[in-house]
Amino acid sequence: MDKPFGVAIIGGSGYGAGEVMRLLVTHPAIEVAEVISRSHAGKPVHTVHTHLQSTTSLTFSPSLTVNWCSRYRKVAFILAMPSGLAPDTIKDIIDKRLPANAVIIDLSGDLRLRDETAHKAFYPEVPYAEEIRAECIYGLTELSRSEVPAARFISNPGCLATAAIVALAPLSSQVFEGAVVIDAKTGTSGAGREPQASMHHPSRTADCAAYKVLQHRHEPEILQALGPAFSSANTMMFIPHLLPVSRGILVSAYGTLRAPIEPRIMREMYERFYAGAPFIRFRESSPRLVDVVGTNFCDLHVTTRGKQVAILATIDNLGKGMAGQCIQNLNLVFGLSEDRGLLTPALGPV
């Protein structure tokens, strides 16, 4: 039986696009109809994403068409391009007279920040595009599940931001004393496919170093999502580090509460907050990267000691931090169960 829903991927040569295609190969209801890459136009997709050989017969197209849209009940356009290109690309798609019920999901950070001052400070290369931004839903599915199905534009959250927000969102009603610290460690695939000296294997192997300390683009995104309890009453410190691994994020978030909470009460608070969330899993001890790499799961461990609270979260930066979350949102847009095609276990030891 033909799949009822179709997507086009624009900017199809990057890691995020490759992961979207890998996950959709076996999706029972969503099909990749077109993949756009000017630099690879005419080449089979598997010549760039070599892990997809024998699983897809798609060829890169030089530009977007919409003539395929009529084959599907509903369609989506996934923007998997470098920062700065989303606003103009969305306008181009609209000019092509896309179907009225189509949705556009942007995987970059171009449309994530609502505040214009913050946007200009952290994304100076990106037009603010007020009209598009006003319609854009921030698509962290666990927090925006009710808004996603009717969305026209969805901004996919950043990978580090996803792990940090999921870790701290249940504490938005709590009062902290002093700073809330987010120590985030991430794999190098989050930097994209284009070669960089700092991501060169000899520079990264057997090493771990912080980068963009107190200056990372994901910090205002985290504050925006968590709301006033964090952005006005507390000083948040977000410090990312690069791990010598390709995929995976470990976030350690911690702070001091105004009043003590027992570990059991805190765990129950988190379980209630994420009740019905199929991709949130609780661990009895520190979660591990190998248990989430290749999946859309976020593993959490939360504990307290008096007033102190510590939350550990792991995700795959290309999975729940990007492509998996994109498909989780697509499922809701298409009226499917949000876990459709995504309940894949990790490989285990890698």
Backbone angles phi, psi at 11, to 5 degrees: 90, 60
Q: How many Cα atoms within 13 Å fall on the side-chain side of residue 117? A: 1
> How many whole angstroms separate alpha carbon 233 and alpha carbon 128?
28
Sign of CA dihedral 270, 276, 277, 281: positive
Which residues are known catalytic residues? 159
Distance between CA atoms of residues 116 and 23, nearest Å:
34
Q: Distance between alpha carbon 122 and the CA centroid of its chain, in Å?
A: 18
For the chain, how far is it from start to end, CA to CA, in angstroms? 35
